[in-house]
A and B are shown apart, each in its own frame.
Chain A
Amino acid sequence: MVELVDAWLKGAVLEVQEYVRLQVHAIRGVFSRPFYFRDVVEQFEQIGVGSLTVVLLTGFFTGAVLALQTGITLDQFGARPFVGRLLSASMVKELGPVLTGLMLAGRIGSGIAAELGSMVVTDQINALRALGTDPIRKLVVPRVLAGFFMAPVLTIIANTMGILGGWIIAVFQLRVASSVYWTSVVDGLYLDDAWMGLIKPFCLGYFIVTIGCHVGLRTSGGTQGVGRATTNAVVAASVAVIAADFFVTRLLITLLY
């Protein structure tokens, strides 16, 4: 029993050590040569444009269902016209970043882990090194940059779609006047809320991508190992999104409010 705990603890410490090393190596790679610019552009396209559909749909339906649910509750207080205020605050501060993060964890985290994991088990990573290429600079740095910068952009798109979805429900289902809804949306937003909604996705995007890369590059055990790595990456990135959201929110409340 003691041996099992000992082995588990050693394994956990090793994982943390390797994760930190990967991040240090990747951050150093951002600011030094060689820099694989074409791969960066390709990853921005894959992570950013490729995730657009899922983010658009998630944002839209989240806003719509939020308007539906809160409309019923607000009715009890005769506050139906305030649905826009509630919706914009919820989407921008919390739901937009977190749901976009979770969608990206599912789509990007799994994709990166599967791709890099396959490259590991088929010796392509070793082949890269044999050909004189640093796999971190070639594979990890472009993904980290793309995840870090595209997550906020996708979050803004999700927020916009959410508020639009809410508007459709507010106008056609709750019978709230369009002008009242939009006024309420603007009234519900403060500058600090916007900052919070913007800063969080940078952190979430970073964690999703670095976790995907770390799990992918540590893959072992053939195709079965790739499947395991993919699952682990999604689970770890999803938990990281929720946990990081809490800690970053706590920090930003202290700093901004």
Chain B
Amino acid sequence: MSVETSGTATLAKPDAQEQPVIVVDNVSLAFDEKVVLKDVSFTLLPGHTKVILGASGSGKSTILKLILGLWKPDGGTITVNGQRIDTMNELQLMEMRADVGMVFQEGALFDSLTVGENVAYKLFEESKMPGDQIDARVQEVLGFVGLTEFTDRMPSALSGGQRRRVAIARAMAAKPGILLYDEATTGLDPITAISVDEEMVKLRDMESVSSIIVTHQLRDAFFVATHEAVRRKDGYDIAPADALKCDEAEFIMLKEGVISFEGNAAELRASNDPYLKNFLS
């Protein structure tokens, strides 16, 4: 499906069997005179990926903050896991966030805690999980992102790529069903960025995590959309995805707070929209 409009994109109609995990419906937000988002609508289906592209300041990260309830929209509704969150108070939002993880730009790791403590934070502070189970889970997720030997290091002793991977481990530690990535690969070298991309693909395909990826790194966006993790006897492989799998990753292009394109990777590449062509070139 391809939607190329200068204004509002139509709300995607999910399969009746598959209830969307996130529904953003006609959401608008402005700061004083500056309109950040205008009538933005889209849905995210379970296990699918939504890649939000756009230039700096186009409102990409704002969408994630609205979905997480960190900010409230001026208009429209946001539904997460069937619950309308734009009318929730902070206490209700805390409960909603139990199933949503977020990887922040630059990682946003807690400086005063070690890598292990960062990853364990949610389980240790906000759950009643016994200590030995927390330790086991921390080792499991750090193993997933390949950083087990860094458990006792402080975040300041990590490279940019390692910090992002720890941020991913922290976000997935409590096994959320939805993960939001805010510029998770921006500023990383290509090799490190690919390793972070692979983590996103693994989480989606091996842990069935639904994800929204905000980025303006086209290479990373296309990598996640066109690859899949395949389980092997001794681990997994990251391989090019088939057409059906590729359809599970949809792109949204934001232009000055408005959705100007919605469709899969092939449709994005085939678009004749001058702005899109310029963005992709």
B108 at the interface (CB under 8 A from A): yes
Chain B residues with CB under 8 Å of A187's CB are: none
The reply to whether B126 and A123 form a contact with Cβ atoms under 8 Å apart is: no
The reply to whether A127 and B110 form a contact with Cβ atoms under 8 Å apart is: yes
CA distance A74 to B111 in the complex (A): 55
Task: Work out how many contacts link A and B, with CB atoms closer than 8 A.
Answer: 52
Cβ 8 A contact of B97, one of A34, A122, A132: A132
Cβ 8 A contact of B122, one of A34, A36, A126, A131: A131
Number of chain B residues close to chain A: CB under 8 A: 24
B149 at the interface (CB under 8 A from A): no
Cβ 8 A contact of B94, one of A118, A127, A134: A134
The reply to whether B97 and A126 form a contact with Cβ atoms under 8 Å apart is: no
B213 at the interface (CB under 8 A from A): no
The reply to whether B126 and A132 form a contact with Cβ atoms under 8 Å apart is: yes
| Distance (whole angstroms) from the CB of A142 to the closest CB of chain B | 13
Cβ 8 A contact of B125, one of A122, A123, A133: A133
CA distance A136 to B97 in the complex (A): 17
The reply to whether A130 and B94 form a contact with Cβ atoms under 8 Å apart is: no
A175 at the interface (CB under 8 A from B): no
The reply to whether A126 and B65 form a contact with Cβ atoms under 8 Å apart is: yes
The reply to whether A130 and B90 form a contact with Cβ atoms under 8 Å apart is: no
State the B residues within 8 Å of A (CB).
Answer: 65, 68, 70, 90, 94-95, 97-98, 100-102, 104-106, 108-111, 121-122, 125-126, 170-171
State the A residues within 8 Å of B (CB).
Answer: 34, 36, 118, 122-124, 126-127, 129-134, 138
Q: In the complex, given contacts A122-B108, A131-B125, what are 16 additional A-B residue pairs having Cβ atoms less than 8 angstroms apart? A: A118-B111, A123-B104, A126-B104, A126-B108, A127-B102, A127-B109, A129-B97, A130-B101, A130-B104, A130-B171, A131-B122, A131-B170, A132-B97, A134-B90, A134-B94, A138-B125
